[in-house]
Structure 1
Amino acid sequence: MRSFIDVIIFIIILPCKLLIYAHQINSNSFSVKSLLMPIIASVLVFLAIGLLLKAAHRFKFLYICNLIISILIICDLNYFRYFKDIISIPVIINSVELGAVGSSVKSLIKYSDFLYLADLAIIPFINRYMNNTKKISKFPSVILLIICVLINFKYFYKLSREQPRLLTTMYNKVYITNSLGVLNYHYIDIYNTAYNRINRLAPISKNKISDIQNFINNNKASEKNFHGSYEGKNLIMIQVEALQGFVINSSINGREITPNLNKLIKSSEYFDNFYYQVAAGGTSDAEFMTNNSLYPAQSGAVYFLYSGNTFDSMPKAFYNKGYDTAALHGFRENFWNRDVMYKNFDFKHFYGEKSFKKDEIIGLGLSDRSFLNQSIDKLDNLKSPFYAFLITLSSHFPYDDVNQYGNFDVGNLEDTLMGNYIKSIHYTDEQLGMFLDKLNKSGLLNNSVIVLYGDHYAIPKNKENLFLKFYNKSSISDVDWIKLQKVPLIIHFPDGALKGINHTNSGEMDIYPTMANLFNLPQKYMMGKDLFNSTQGKIIYRNGSFIDGNYYYMSENNTYYNMKTGSKIPETKTLLEKRQSVLDELEYSDSILKHNLIKKLDEK
């Protein structure tokens, strides 16, 4: 027995850690019975390899495996708290960017997370009691490894039958993890990452190209309404950091949270069913979608994985039409690889951190007040007509620079993440109001279309209790939660021809096609819809979830809901067909990225 103390500890502690983790990310439908066997099989793979080594080396090997898996669990858990997704190899490759948002990462970690490492402090002392001299036959180790592989294959096969294409596309990482355990998920992720890199080198079939072209052609709107109505006008597009829809027209203690945006809405077209669609790329995904109308990468960020691709971007379309084009952001130029991507998109000018005077810092970088004030001068220097794309920064998670946001009473939300967020977005709203006033005084407002939208959520899912406090509710259903993921889309026209509330279901994918119609730009490779020529919109998420009409499909638990009643509904043939068409659309977008298809189609 003394010869196998390390084996016994490993086979007991690791499955326990993995089961605790599984419960933390899926407490509602967690089942030890369904997860125990695939988790044990995934752990025994390491044990089988360890048993091939001498006892002293085996101890070190199992200890290192325990350490790496424990750290991976902590990373996965914190990534899940913010993104509601599981970390992947491409995300880890991109993680160098997290160094610039350290406060965001630190705010997610809990002291209890380090309990996953507690056993590692004790195990080294056990080594002295082991008998390291006993020789072990390698034959049982090989048999154990074969058995583990066969058990895992059984569960992989079962899941692939239940959810076709899930294990190859990895569109729903949470569902895979909840079904097979996080170790098996990472095995599949490593395999798919390697396979996809090899597959990118293989030529895409003519049939697949034909399918993609047919989809894009059929996806184009009729362009009857307002086509080319604003050709020759400027476009100023503002992507507001973490601007969620629930703050619009909301008040605390009698004071409006966003008075300036509320005022802007009254003279603009306001889309109140507009949703963010970002994935692992966060803010960079939002700007990629709005400027390209393609979906985010399957894993990781497009801005890193496909920076060498050819894109049919909105700035390129404007540039080819004779417009001046500029991107403006008060943070460092290489963050999210923007300096490379903006050049690729054909932004003629990129005004990053080095182009601004750093006279006031809030959170990550230049304050919105300073950024927007200095941006006015840069817009004045652009040759008209122009397309300018601005990204704000001060309302970035975790909203901890509260002393800089000004005095705004948030009542019983004081000293909470929600309260700090409301202060930050109230501050940003104030700066946007001053920015719009200056545009008006300079004459630019009367000659420009203004598009303003939020990039992604502000409050992560693990802080949903703050919404309960904000709305004075006792619970939030799955449908209530998805409705909270709306972000504002406001389009202001210089002649006031279009204003009112537009209830069309829409998302960030739809902005480029809408602008292409208004400004008479070519529509070649867009997967979104023109919102002024579409009656029935839809929102597709990277994980395969979607909102279509009155229905919401939540891929995390493979469940359909009625959006009006919030009740669960059974799968019908029509709903299944919708789900399959959603997966097809995501796959088409992935193929365009993986095979640099726009370049190949343009060459033809």
Structure 2
Amino acid sequence: MKNIKSIASKLYTTRIGFFLLAVILFWFKTYAMYKTKFSLGEKGLVQELLLFFNPLAFTLFIFAFALFAKGKKSYIILLILDFVLSTWLFSNIVYYREFSDFITVSIMKSFSSVSNNMGSSAFALMKPTDLLAYADVVVLVVLLAFKKIKLDKKPVKKRVTLSILALAVLIFTVNLSTAEADRPQLLSRTFDRNYIIKYLGLNVYVVYDGIKTEQTNLVKAKADSNDLNSVLDYVKSNQTSKNVEYYGKAQGKNVFVIHLESFQQFLIDYKVDGQEVTPTLNKFYHDSNTVSFDNFFHQVAQGKTSDAETMLETSLFGLPQGSAMVTAGTDNTFQAAPALLNQKGYTTAAFHGDVGTFWNRNNAYKSWGYDYFFDSSYYPSNESYELNYGLKDKIFLKESAQYIEQLPQPFYAKLITVTNHYPYPLDSQNASFPKTTTGDSTVDGYVQTAHYLDQAINEFLTYLKQTGLYDNSVIMMYGDHYGISSNHSDAIKQLLNKNDFTKYDDAMFQKVPFMIHAPGIKGGVNHTYGGEIDVLPTLLSLLGVDHSNNIFIGSDLLSEDHKQIVSFRNGDFVAKDFTKVGSKIFNTSTGEEILELTTEQQATIKAETKYVQIQLDTSDQVINGDLLRFYTLPDFKTVNKSDYSYVKSKAIKKLKSTKKGTSLLEKLGKSTVDEYKTDAPELNDTSDSSSSSTSTSANN
């Protein structure tokens, strides 16, 4: 025993010994984090062993480079490498807790476009135990600081270091071969990121993702007009007929697109202690002139809100990694809703009470053809007015009225609310609804901010009715993505009064509201299965805008030919009869898992799976290859981004000088701003300064 202890003591006082200690500590720590911080779905002995061993090869390989340095410098380099990799692990732990996903290279590239307001959300996501991601770094530093490990200045022979690198490569090769045997075509096909991390490790994954990202960039460089052939084949084969009951029924009407942040379908008609969470939206949902869809799903990936906007404006999916608005929004060619409607005589405007650079909106909106983008620079600035990602909804919607009344009609106006955003905080003066009592601090505030949003919508709709805009507009509302992730399953079960929360339940939990209200149309709850990719064709059909030549991935939800298959970015889907989640198949109506498929069912699932993959691949081809630059759409003029400026002084001047006699302000001959009533305590407390700010902005 003494001999073993003596050998161990001599070993870790050498550079090689310190190196091995660092490798073992990092390896075991990473495995512990895999098991406690992520849900990777490992099953069986092979997957368990791969999960345990996969951190080893990369750790050996990277840490070995410290051995090329001499003396003290070698120790410092190793600690720096350990710290960097630990920070990467820590960041993914925090990110995964909210998004059930891992950070990609695209997300890292786009961080500057979304980081301005992420501080509070990121902090709220952290748990004290997350800091254990740095445990091995602390142990090594302490051992060195207290000289429990003495610095070994003897150089390590290069052949030893090269042997370690070779060993790392060998271990990785065995790891990869075993993974491929258990999961064929692991790297050649698109799998959930969980698979790659489960089999090969978090650090190998980021290298793989970086390579895939670079390959995507090369696709655009190599793309040409011939690549459109398969895209046009898809569009032609998925044409839908017009629904004569709805087609063109809202022609010439204004369009309001109201973005309900993080708003899920279960909130419609949901009550807490007998009190409706969203009475205004419930009434709007069931209005006789509102078509509401109760089987409508968000289809976002990592881009979250930006993915939802991309689908609604272009009928193209977001990308499997990162945000299409960030990676392609500045340079790609689009044939998006704002430009399509602008060339039909519409004024187009987007409203958002946050900085214009968030999700690269200031550039993407130009590519889409928005005449105006009213970002935070157009709104009064006051610390009490803001919460998380911009102006509180009541203030935002009220302050938007001054610009809405100046827009020449017909107009297309998108308003993005933000108060119902994770982590769902709300100050006491605005909190007028009780929290739920699941014990999950994230979930329990959700109904409170949703109720606040509902109150803000009520004030906005009241204004539209008083000014006559309500009866001359299509009002479309949608939830952009989930508000509560599946990581909060225990709380979700309490909210839904369920004993279990299966993969099927999670798929159904991705439903979000989609409502279209227009005067004179036949309303009701429509049970058609669809998603955000289908919104633009549906809206254009209502407006009587022919889109048979457009390259749209989705289709009109009101058409009898609409395929009721909702594709998710990871290849899963929900269809009228079957729901596919990973390798599991469920009966969509009952939620029961189908363990043995009939021959007919197998054929249906195979066909639907193929359709989903073609749909996703076709969309990716269009965006990654920037293929719309090669496509001439009849009667459409390609957007020239240099024609647009969202600088406040220029936009206000443009609004003032555009005299068509059709704006609400021109028609009434007076401002309607004072007709907008809100109980926002921040404005009521400072009514003089607020009204002064509004009046000045409206007349400059």
- Bin of the TM-score, shorter chain as denominator length: over 0.9
Query: Which of 98, 123, 127 matches 1:110?
Result: 127
Aligned residues: 600
- Percent identity reads 28
Instruction: Tell me how far apart the structure 2 counterparts of residues 386 and 205 of structure 1 sit (CA, whole Å).
Output: 34
Indicate conservation of the 8 Å contact 1:232/1:385, yes or no: yes
Quick check: 1:213 aligned with 2:229? no
Query: Which of 535, 539, 553 matches 1:511?
Result: 535
Instruction: Tell me how far apart the structure 2 counterparts of residues 46 and 101 of structure 1 sit (CA, whole Å).
Output: 31
Aligned position for 2:469: 444
Aligned position for 1:346: 369
Aligned position for 1:526: 552
Change (3 A) 1:333 1:257: same
Instruction: Tell me how far apart the structure 1 counterparts of residues 355 and 163 of structure 2 sit (CA, whole Å).
Output: 54
Counterpart mapping for 1:42-81 below 5 A: 42-54=58-70, 56-81=72-97
Aligned position for 2:525: 501
Query: One-letter code of the match for 1:25?
Result: F
Instruction: Tell me how far apart the structure 2 counterparts of residues 120 and 335 of structure 1 sit (CA, whole Å).
Output: 35
Query: One-letter code of the match for 2:34?
Result: A
Query: One-letter code of the match for 2:126?
Result: I
Instruction: Tell me how far apart the structure 1 counterparts of residues 182 and 341 of structure 2 sit (CA, whole Å).
Output: 45
Quick check: 1:288 aligned with 2:310? yes
Indicate conservation of the 8 Å contact 1:18/1:182, yes or no: no
The two structures, once aligned, show a CA RMSD in angstroms of 2.5
Secondary structure of residue in 1 paired with 2:216 = helix
Counterpart mapping for 1:7-406 below 5 A: 7-23=19-35, 24-26=37-39, 29=42, 31-54=47-70, 56-96=72-112, 97-127=114-144, 128=147, 129-130=149-150, 132-153=152-173, 155-156=175-176, 167=187, 170=190, 172-204=192-224, 206=226, 208-225=227-244, 226-267=246-287, 268-306=290-328, 307-358=330-381, 361-364=385-388, 365-406=390-431
Q: Tell me the alpha carbon deviations over residues 332-358 of structure 1, each in whole angstroms, 9 at most, x when there is no partner.
A: 222221111112211111111122234
Instruction: Tell me how far apart the structure 2 counterparts of residues 321 and 205 of structure 1 sit (CA, whole Å).
Output: 27
Q: Tell me the alpha carbon deviations over residues 268-304 of structure 1, each in whole angstroms, 9 at most, x when there is no partner.
A: 1110111111122221211111111111122111121
Instruction: Tell me how far apart the structure 1 counterparts of residues 403 and 121 of structure 2 sit (CA, whole Å).
Output: 30
TM-score, with structure 2 as normaliser: 0.81
Query: One-letter code of the match for 2:285?
Result: I
Aligned position for 1:485: 510
Query: One-letter code of the match for 1:501?
Result: V
TM-score, with structure 1 as normaliser: 0.93
Indicate conservation of the 8 Å contact 2:40/2:194, yes or no: no
Secondary structure of residue in 2 paired with 1:174 = helix
Instruction: Tell me how far apart the structure 1 counterparts of residues 22 and 529 of structure 2 sit (CA, whole Å).
Output: 50
Query: One-letter code of the match for 2:134?
Result: L
Secondary structure of residue in 1 paired with 2:27 = helix
* C-alpha displacement of 1:418: 2.4
Query: One-letter code of the match for 1:194?
Result: E
Instruction: Tell me how far apart the structure 1 counterparts of residues 539 and 234 of structure 2 sit (CA, whole Å).
Output: 20
* C-alpha displacement of 1:581: 3.3
Instruction: Tell me how far apart the structure 2 counterparts of residues 73 and 134 of structure 1 sit (CA, whole Å).
Output: 32
In structure 1, the gaps of 5 or more residues are none
Instruction: Tell me how far apart the structure 2 counterparts of residues 383 and 139 of structure 1 sit (CA, whole Å).
Output: 75
Indicate conservation of the 8 Å contact 1:450/1:493, yes or no: yes
Instruction: Tell me how far apart the structure 1 counterparts of residues 434 and 53 of structure 2 sit (CA, whole Å).
Output: 52
Query: One-letter code of the match for 1:489?
Result: F
Counterpart mapping for 1:571-582 below 5 A: 572-582=602-612
Instruction: Tell me how far apart the structure 2 counterparts of residues 456 and 401 of structure 1 sit (CA, whole Å).
Output: 20
Indicate conservation of the 8 Å contact 2:431/2:452, yes or no: yes
* C-alpha displacement of 1:205: 7.8
Indicate conservation of the 8 Å contact 1:562/1:569, yes or no: no
Secondary structure of residue in 1 paired with 2:579 = strand
* C-alpha displacement of 1:246: 1.1
Change (3 A) 1:83 1:380: same
Indicate conservation of the 8 Å contact 1:228/1:520, yes or no: yes
* C-alpha displacement of 1:48: 3.9
Change (3 A) 1:428 1:588: same
Instruction: Tell me how far apart the structure 1 counterparts of residues 160 and 439 of structure 2 sit (CA, whole Å).
Output: 61
49-58 or 257-266, which deviates more? 49-58
Instruction: Tell me how far apart the structure 2 counterparts of residues 167 and 547 of structure 1 sit (CA, whole Å).
Output: 25
Q: Tell me the alpha carbon deviations over residues 135-190 of structure 1, each in whole angstroms, 9 at most, x when there is no partner.
A: 43323433443343344345446656776776356552122112222122112112
Query: One-letter code of the match for 2:322?
Result: G
Instruction: Tell me how far apart the structure 1 counterparts of residues 608 and 398 of structure 2 sit (CA, whole Å).
Output: 46
